[in-house]
């Protein structure tokens, strides 16, 4: 179970709040059942942080999380050359692995050869193992088709995928394809709304931001699934489901990080829920939905 963490910010300049970041990373990583962190992911606002700030996030994680906790850093850049520079810098800062995000411009369409070249350029810049990001099926061309996944799986340095297709049939198709090509390939589900379903179909774990908000609940769901206690797993799923919907499904879906930060602030885990522009704060209705879902999860 890997928790995708956020980056607390403060003041009118939206600076990274270093002490609050370290407290957040330590608190999540210290929970039983959490075996890794994803830093500099979408929840970590990697698209509005510069490279130096993202390096500082990795360094903070390395300082405060247990040595047994895997640190995976997201690599997110429009330029393959900048993505390679990020990869090298994150390795030097102490990351154990890297998650390579597709550039946002790919949503408009691209040559599949771009995908392979981008990942090969990153791989050449680091000795770390790489993870693919399986984008939601609603993200257009950012979601890799079967032919592209076959080409990416041929790159030995790529060992896993954060499978975020957010559609159960596609999740299973990608799982079967990748593990059929390479039985040792690791598929970690990242569809917070259908974790239970992914565990029934097959998974080696999850890499999700809900685990940064309710780590004990998410870890308990995974433990119940591992034990084959599906009645308990269904009970935990019922507790988690409204929170997953409130954060991810309720329109507009791009507000997930704002909702995660509000949830953590509401729970007293971070001092300030602010996000960098262009994301505005939550309105009253959004706050109410998140808080209601937290109450449903018995928090």
CA-based nearest residue to 113, from 85, 87, 151, 79:
151
pLDDT mean over 141-163: 96
Where is pLDDT greater, at 130 or 109?
Answer: 130
Whether 114 shows a pLDDT value over 70: the answer reads: yes
Confidence band, pLDDT 50/70/90 cuts, at residue 110: confident
Which of the residue ranges 10-14, 125-129, 174-178, 252-256 would you say has the lowest mean pLDDT? 252-256
- pLDDT, tens digit, for every residue of 244-299? 999 998 878 789 999 999 999 999 999 999 999 999 999 999 999 999 999 999 85
C-alpha 153/C-alpha 137 separation (Å) is: 19
The ranges assigned to domains in the chain are 2-216
Number of Cβ within 10 Å of residue 125's Cβ equals 19
pTM: 0.96
Q: How far apart are the first and last CA of the chain?
A: 20
% of the chain exceeding 90 in pLDDT: 91
Whether 75 shows a pLDDT value over 80: the answer reads: yes
Phi, psi angles (nearest 5°) of residue 187 = -110, 115
pLDDT mean over 13-25: 98
- pLDDT, tens digit, for every residue of 20-74? 999 999 999 999 999 999 999 999 999 999 999 999 999 999 999 999 999 999 9
Please tell me which residue in 54, 144, 162, 241 is annotated as part of the active site. Answer: 162
Could you confirm whether 261 is annotated as catalytic?
Answer: no
Q: In the CATH hierarchy, which top-level class contains the domain 2-216?
A: alpha beta
Please tell me which residue in 133, 171, 199, 241 is annotated as part of the active site. Answer: 133
Query: Is residue 201 within 8 Å of 177, Cβ to Cβ?
Result: no
DSSP per position, the chain: -EEE----EETTTTEE-HHHHHHHHHHHHTSTT--EEEESSTTTTTTTS-HHHHHHHHHHHHHHS-TTSEEEEEE--SSHHHHHHHHHHHHHHT-SEEEEPPPGGGGG---HHHHHHHHHHHHHT-SS-EEEEE--GGGGGGS--HHHHHHHHTSTTEEEEEE----HHHHHHHHHHHHHH-TT-EEEE--GGGHHHHHHH--S-BEETHHHHSHHHHHHHHHHHHTT-HHHHHHHHHHHHHHHIIIIISSSGGGHHHHHHHHHHHTTSSS-----TTPPPP-HHHHHHHHHHHHHTT-
CA-based nearest residue to 168, from 130, 205, 201, 133:
201
pLDDT of residue 287: 96
The single residue listed with the structure tokens 């003041």 is 11
- pLDDT, tens digit, for every residue of 185-243? 999 998 888 999 999 999 999 999 999 999 999 999 999 999 999 999 999 999 999 99
pLDDT of residue 100: 98
Could you confirm whether 186 is annotated as catalytic?
Answer: no
pLDDT of residue 109: 86
Token pair recorded at residue 60: 């903070």
């Amino acid at each position: 179970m890997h928790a995708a963490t956020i980056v607390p910010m403060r003041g009118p300049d939206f600076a990274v709040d270093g002490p609050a970041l370290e407290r957040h990373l330590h608190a999540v990583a210290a929970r039983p059942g959490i075996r890794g962190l994803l830093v500099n992911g979408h929840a970590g606002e990697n698209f509005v942080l510069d490279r130096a700030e993202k390096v500082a996030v990795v360094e903070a994680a390395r300082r405060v999380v247990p040595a047994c906790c895997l640190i995976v850093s997201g690599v997110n850049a429009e330029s393959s050359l900048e993505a390679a520079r990020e990869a090298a810098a994150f390795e030097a800062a102490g990351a154990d692995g890297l998650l390579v995000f597709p550039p946002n411009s790919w949503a408009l369409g691209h040559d599949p050869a771009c995908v392979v070249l981008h990942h090969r350029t990153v791989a050449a810049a680091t000795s770390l193992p790489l993870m693919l990001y399986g984008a939601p099926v609603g993200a257009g061309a950012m979601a890799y088709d079967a032919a592209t996944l076959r080409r990416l799986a041929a790159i030995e340095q790529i060992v896993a995928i954060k499978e975020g297709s957010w559609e159960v049939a596609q999740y299973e198709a990608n799982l079967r394809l990748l593990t059929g090509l390479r039985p040792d390939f690791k598929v970690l589900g990242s569809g917070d709304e259908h974790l239970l379903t992914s565990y029934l179909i097959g998974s080696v774990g999850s890499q999700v931001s809900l685990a940064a908000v309710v780590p004990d609940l998410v870890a308990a769901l995974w433990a119940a699934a591992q034990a084959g206690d599906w009645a308990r797993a269904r009970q935990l799923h019922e507790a988690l489901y409204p929170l997953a919907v409130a954060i991810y499904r309720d329109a507009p879906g791009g507000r997930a990080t704002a909702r995660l930060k509000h949830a953590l602030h509401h729970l007293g885990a971070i001092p300030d829920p602010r996000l960098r522009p262009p994301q505005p704060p939550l309105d009253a209705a959004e706050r109410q939905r998140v808080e209601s879902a937290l109450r449903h999860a018995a928090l």
